[in-house]
Structure 1
Amino acid sequence: MLKLREKSYYKWIIAFSSLIVMIMTVGIIYNVFTIFTIPVTEGLSISRQTFSLAQTLIFTATIFVNPFISKLVEKTGLIRLIRIFSVATPIFYFGFSFVNSTWQLYLVSLLVGISQCFVSMVPLSILLNSWFDKDIGLALGITFMGSGIGGMIFNPVVNSIIENYSWRHAFGFLSIVMFIFLVPIGLFVIILPPQMSQKEHLTTYQESETAASLNVETRASSAVEENNSYLKDRRFWIISLAFILDGVAGYSIINFVTPYFRDLGYSSYYAANVMAMSMGLMAVGKVVLGFVYDRTNVRFATLLAIFAAFVGLVALYFAQYPWALIFLGFGNFFGSPAGTVSQPLVTKGVFRARDYAKVNGLLVSFSNIGVTLTPIIANTIFDHSGSYRPHFVAMIVLMAICFALFFLVLPRAAKKDSN
């Protein structure tokens, strides 16, 4: 079956379909949200900190939902979940067009946050892992570049709709586009590999790795004995902390570009285009970073990404100078992709194959804990200081700590540690 899967052209259809799904989910829900900061806060007469809590609720939902996705997949089936929430997500997102109060904004955010978990990073990682044995880094990079492409395409479009119509029209437009693409792909395109059941995909990768050295009886007994052993591995907790820090600091490179550049005195058009540039570089960077993971090792690729993120944060601090855009671009290209590409590849490179779905889900959740804290921290600092620059100073320090943690824990050898 593995040979059949490797020869199948359909795995690349799955990869590019997953790319479109990421554009329509993470690309819109995460990476276009901040462009609504000023118009929504002015329209509803709320503070930026109050508005940022809506984004926080979206991320909070992922923290609590992602660790249970593997269990839900076992009970319900991956494809069934994707189909249900491909329809539900754009419907919930459409609710943003009608909010008139803070509690409505928060309710819609929570529903969107829960729903998108079942059609974005963790389910797509499981799906791709069931289709790809080779070039998994490239496949994940292609898929996850969708978040950057979504931001690159829709930030200028949404900015134009807001200026010419209203932010409510912009939310409605995004919802319709999301529905047009998500529903057909979720219902008719995304499938599991040939002859694979709804549940087998969670264990196929593990079996392919161990079949050469372990018989069936040994695998069955060791699975019971070693279940959840990764929780006793100090590397898991150090890596989890590192991803929390990367979530907090790394997301700051993208999340505040539009309001920050407007606060620096640039026009909304210029700020939206800087955001589009950032998203475009991040999108291409995800493919390149995935390729780097495939061709080098998890240590080199991860440290490269974290270093680039550090450079990007320093560039944001000096964003009033034109030369800073060059270094911001470097941070967007290699640093920002770590927020989505690195978790599944670090999981595969460090931990046992049988734990892939569980560990990856947890690492994504830990990363989202950091991402959840980002708007709260940044907008609280902004409300007290009137600037995002003190926030960037703090994030530079956190990213340096993140680099040190990955430097200490990631294996130096190209091969993953199987102990």
Structure 2
Amino acid sequence: MFRKSNYAWWIFAGTCLISLVGFGLIINTVGLFYGPISVAFHVGRAEVALMSSFQNIAAAIVLLFAGKIMAKVSVKWVLVVCFAVIGVGLASLSSANSMIHFYVVWTLIGICQPFAIILSIPVLLGNWFQKKLGTVMGIALGISAVGGTLFNPLISSVITNSGWRTGLLVEGLIVLITMVPTALFILKDKPSGSQKAYGFDPNSTALDQEKSLTGLTLKESLKTPMFYLIAFAMVALQFVAGFVQHISAHIVNIGMPLTIGATVVSGVMMGAAVGKITIGYLLDKFNNGLVIVIYTLFGIIGWSGLQIMHSSPLLVGSGFILGLGQGVLLVALPFFTRTQFGLKDYSNILSVISMFGAVSSAAAVSIDGMFFDISKSYAIPLTLNVFLYIFSGIAVVISISIAKKVVVKLGGSQHAE
């Protein structure tokens, strides 16, 4: 399958590794270090969580222009540089003597994140797959949850047995050993010479160009209620997602070991993987409003269970269920951005909405930590997450019900359903 003419599958494998290590290790394990770092430097959780806030703020700012940069320079070399910076930065934290070091490194990671992790997967797969793009995109993104499931127990075990400094050194080495060579020797920006995108059809170009002109521009979308409903849902659900980095700390705070906390986070990651795959399929097959209601209920049940349950199996089960609910954020919101506004300015509209979400996630990590420092409990943010799921689900359902009428009135895309 991996003949020269099918190099697209090497690209697919590379993007799966980006998802596995980028999301699964770099993004999803940071919460494991909050407690140990807080103790080591005698600071509150909110002060420790600031490093993630700086990361997300930097990522939100860079998201505004990252797509334009990646369109003009070599994606391959951008990835080489970004993963080298991330790997060296994480390894350097093993010798950190102050929180300033953490703030600087995680800000640099935030700058690299849109290029190396967020945009690289859709950009590379979009260049190399003209058929089965949705399938390979779903699988590649779903691998992130597998990475979280694998790396959370691995890193928590390293922290428990050898300390947090060794844990950070291990993370940095994993990034340098796996991602830099992958970017350098496997990933290529786009097909060249005899290489062709998977499913390449010379006659499809005109049709693709015609499709790309349908829909609303960003300026036009700002005049619609759907933009603000989807943006609200993005902000609300990204705020909820910001708590994932505190889950292991919450489990420890209710009297259980860090290894159980890591297992619960792994349950969340696995649930998110299943949620990504299933919600995409169901949105294509069934009434979209009903699907959103079902997955919103998953979120409500999961976050409620995380607050009231106190046994390991039930906490892991709650984590898996709330992970299913994350399918609304991870798949449904980009899906509805495309179906409600069309393809004409899709990436620009999605990047702006995603920027709002990144800012919300950045604020959530520190706000959740602040609530803990004040009350010595995560009860308030967990309750807030339940209500945010309710309100975001309502917002998305309303956007579905009014989208077609509004878009047709503006003379735009006919994709809205």
TM over 0.5: yes
Structure 1: which amino acid aligns with 2:338? K
RMSD (CA atoms): 3.3
| Residue 238 of structure 1: how far off its partner (Å) | 2.0
Q: Offset of 1:389 from its aligned partner? A: 1.2
TM-score, normalised to structure 2, is 0.84
The aligned counterpart of 2:341 is 351
Work out which of the residue numbers 184, 188, 200 in structure 1 matches 2:185: 188
Match of residue 162, structure 1, among 138, 159, 162: 159
* 1:402 equivalenced with 2:398 (yes/no): no
Partner of 2:97: 100
| Offset at residue 256 of structure 1 (A) | 2.4
The aligned counterpart of 2:232 is 241
Query: Is the aligned partner of 1:280 residue 2:270?
Result: yes
1:43 aligned to 2:72? no
Superimposed CA distance per residue, residues 318-337 of structure 1 (whole angstroms, 9 cap, x where no aligned partner): 122554543442221x2124
In 2, the alpha carbon distance for the partners of 1:61 and 1:417 equals 36
Q: Percent identity?
A: 22
Shift of 1:42: 0.7
CA drift at 1:66: 1.0
The alpha carbon displacement at 1:83 in A equals: 3.3
Q: Name the CA distance, whole Å, in 2 between partners of 1:214 and 1:269.
A: 53
Inter-partner Cα distance in structure 1 for 2:209 and 2:245: 46
Partner AA of 2:156 in structure 1: N
Work out the CA distance in 2 between the residues paired with 1:208 and 1:320: 56
Q: Which letter maps to 1:360?
A: L
**Alpha-carbon distance in structure 2 between the residues aligned to 1:237 and 1:381:** 28
Question: How many positions carry a matched residue from both structures?
Answer: 398
1:73 counterpart letter in structure 2? M
Letter in 2 for 1:276: S
Partner of 1:142: 139
Q: Which residue number in structure 1 is paired with residue 410 of structure 2?
A: none
Which of 77, 80, 88 pairs up with 2:85? 88
Q: Cα deviations across residues 260-291 of structure 1 (Å, max 9, x unaligned)?
A: 11111112222222222322332343333343
Question: Which amino acid is 1:242 matched to?
Answer: A
- 1:64 corresponds in structure 2 to 61
The 5 A counterparts of 1:2-401 are 9-195=6-192, 211=207, 214=210, 228-252=219-243, 254-296=244-286, 299=289, 301-320=291-310, 323=314, 325-332=316-323, 334-401=324-391
CA distance in 2, matches of 1:32, 1:212: 40
2: distance between equivalents of 1:138 and 1:384?
45
Change (3 A) 1:291 1:112: same
Partner SS state of residue 120, structure 1: helix
Q: CA deviation at 1:413?
A: 9.1
Instruction: Give the conservation status (yes or no) of the 8 Å contact 1:137–1:345.
Output: no
Structure 2 equivalent of residue 5 of structure 1:
none
Which whole-Å deviations, capped at 9, do the CAs of 1:122-156 have from their partners, x for residues lacking one? Answer: 23223223334454443222122233222211121
Instruction: Compute the displacement of 1:243 (Å).
Output: 0.3
- 279-288 or 177-186: bigger deviation: 279-288
1:257 partner letter: I
* CA gap 1:386/1:212 in 2 versus in 1, 3 angstroms: closer
Deviation for aligned residue 1:300: 5.1
Asked if structure 2 preserves the Cα contact closer than 8 Å seen for 1:138 and 1:291, the reply is no
Unaligned runs of 5+ in 1: 1-7
CA contact (8 A) 1:339 1:367 kept: no
The TM-score, its normalising length taken from structure 1, stands at 0.84
- Offset of residue 93 of structure 1: 2.4
